[in-house]
Amino acid sequence: MRQINKIMHLTVALFFAVSLVFFLAFNNLKELFGIEELNTGTVVSFLLVGTVLFLIAWGTGKMVRNNLEGEISLKENEKKELKAKLYDMEQGIKLQNIERKIDQVEDDRDPSVIKPRQNFK
């Protein structure tokens, strides 16, 4: 779809560039195309074709943008899920470390032994 979008934008730019050259050099080119004078029907047809090309290019651009925004939202959701999993894993590791310390402290305690005296001055 990106290629179609690029092609449509180039087509619109090329069409309006050719139209500009045609209208600016009309006095020199009128015998080449077999047109005696420039009437409103010719100008309106050029504008309608240009408008249709522009709308097609705008529509393809909008579709490409929506597609990219959808991909970005999927990536952001995936990123949030990974962050949540990482956070849960970190919290689990911290809880395991705390439980180990508590177990070590409980194992180090021997209820039959009297604590040594501390002297404070």
In a structure prediction context, what are the per-residue pLDDT tens digits for the chain, which is 121 residues long? Answer: 789 989 999 999 999 999 998 888 888 877 777 777 888 888 899 899 999 999 999 999 999 999 999 999 999 999 999 998 888 888 878 777 777 777 776 655 555 666 667 777 6
**Contacts of residue 26, Cβ cutoff 8 Å, sequence gap at least 6:** 38
Q: Structurally, how many domains does the chain consist of?
A: 1
Q: Is residue 7 part of a domain?
A: yes
* Residues 76, 84: Cα–Cα separation, whole Å: 12
Which structural domain, as residue segments, surrounds residue 29? 2-106
- CA–CA distances in Å: residue 24 to residues 30, 39, 51, 54, 73: 11, 15, 20, 21, 47
Q: Is residue 94 part of a domain?
A: yes
Q: Which two tokens stand for residue 20?
A: 């500009």
Q: Is residue 120 part of a domain?
A: no
Query: Contact 30/36 with Cβ under 8 angstroms?
Result: yes
* pTM score of the predicted model: 0.61
Q: Is residue 20 part of a domain?
A: yes
Q: Is residue 37 part of a domain?
A: yes
